[in-house]
Chain A
Amino acid sequence: MSDLLRIIGNGADVPDQPIPEGLGDKDLVAIYRWLVLLRAYDERSVALQRQGRIGTYALYWGEEATQAGTLYALEETDWIFPSYRQNSIGILRGVPPSVILAWWRGYGGDVGFYDTRHFRTGPICVPIGTHLPHAVGTSWAAKLRGERTASLAWFGDGATSEGDFHEAMNFASVFKTATIFFCTNNQWAISTPVSRQMATKTVAEKALAYAMPAVRVDGFDPIACWKATKDAADRGREGGGPTLIEAFCYRIGAHGTADDPRLYRDEAETEPWKAWEPLSRMASFLDRLGVLDESGAEKIKAEAKQTIAEAVTEMEAIETPGLEVIFDNVYAKDRPWMFIEGLEELRSVGQRELVKPLNAGAPADDTEIPEEGV
């Protein structure tokens, strides 16, 4: 990992680097706070899934730096496009955590969907790589309107194999849009290792083909993620075009709650990566700097846990929406005739009963199919 941009060392053989210009003590603590909030959300979500209180969940344990550090480098007016892996990034922009939890619980209707325009945060994107051209579009629109707005999209190493990745990279470089392609190279796409995903040694070198600057950073280092993103955004705003950032890390957890990595990788390989995970690393960094001591860090953790606990209560108090949700949010105005008739059908015949669980009477494993996807 020698070619990686890295600021935070490990307190032993890997030294700390000077803190980049633009980050004060307050910022460092704020980034730590974000890391901790994301972690609290993530760990709680996994527990909720195990208890059957939310559905299949895509965890990101260890990948908090690529979110918190990165987002902290952007302006509130910049557009961000998360994939499922950054599913809760909205909470760092003010989306109530209960809203995103509700999406995973799967209420339907308006529940679980944040105001994408207000938060300048795209909806959580599930089809791999398909949101990358969108990030090009929003930054291009900003350029056409003379705004200094950048856009950033997160995606994985696997996503670089999709056509949409290459099409978006090409558009961005041809039209010099202020787009930041942020690849979290966690070295796995479900069960497929990065060595089987691409023949190149790095993701970053793919930018060469698009005459685009690229940088590789330690994806477990929130300050390195901040620095790379800040530079890319600054350059983009000045008309310097797009940047590809490769945040090199490792998927320490499973792909999702339905995934069992023991099927395809030796968990002993995962062990050494845990030492780099961003939370304890950032905490000891702040301690070394004398910015935040252990009790300060503990306080932040307790606050985050409390925030998420309240969000869970809030989320579970939400009532399941009525049957008209099936026909909501599809078209702008009046419901078309087939929706009006459908609603009548649904109400009168009670065709799809509201009370009975979907698979009542079916074998129990019906709903427990191993599937990850997401």
Chain B
Amino acid sequence: MNDVKKYLREWAMPHVLCPGCAHGIVLRSFLEAVDQLQLAQDQVAMVAGIGCSSRLAGYADFCTLHGTHGRAPAFATGLKLARPELDVVVVTGDGDGLAIGGNHLIHAARRNIDITVLLLNNSIYGMTGGQVAPTSPEGTVASTTPSGNTEPPFDPCQLLLGAGASYVARVLAATPTEMTKVMADAILHPGFAFIEVVADCPEYFGRYNKAGGGAEMLTQLAGRDTGVAVQLADKRFVNHIPSSETAPGLQTGVLRRETRPVFSGVRGGGDHGA
């Protein structure tokens, strides 16, 4: 493992995340990807919205923008258009990126602006205290669905494939090596790259749904063994197929990689989009 401490703002610690939360693992994987690619630290811009996942930007020692709820892809679009040489990475969550910010996300994907989006999907609102999210499986107990969620959830990857994202991948927070590899791959992808990171929230999702602590939830989601998190995850998509019929359950890895013209706004010099 590489030493990624140099990419952390140690002066900003202790962090706000709960024990057992996978968000720290995700940040570590991202920093390792940056290290592998040897990106210039002052040319990396991390743009976040609001939520637990978005707080990660504050601890990473890059140019970091903690914006407003759901709008990170729009901030990132302006940033990238004005400074195309920056490596722009958006970190968002399921509530931030798919509820309040869903519109910005799909339009950024459609334009194929050259940014990377990490969407940490833990199927619940963590920062605001465990409310139901657009990716909460049916049946999820949340503070706003005490008798179980009755709304069908989004499949984030299907949504982004539909929106025209030129790179779409799903990784599990429980498999950090794979996660680092995919993140590095996505950062190098010319155009809009989307990664759904299947993560946990032991504090709320785990507690409300009796799915166990952080370690248990992650093993369940990674190993597809029985457990409440998996039973719920089986119902995570609108047109879900029970996992018994779809080995190995959650499809992970790179789901799409294609090359299409990268958006650079309307500018001089005959660039695309002019």
Do A and B pair up? The answer is no
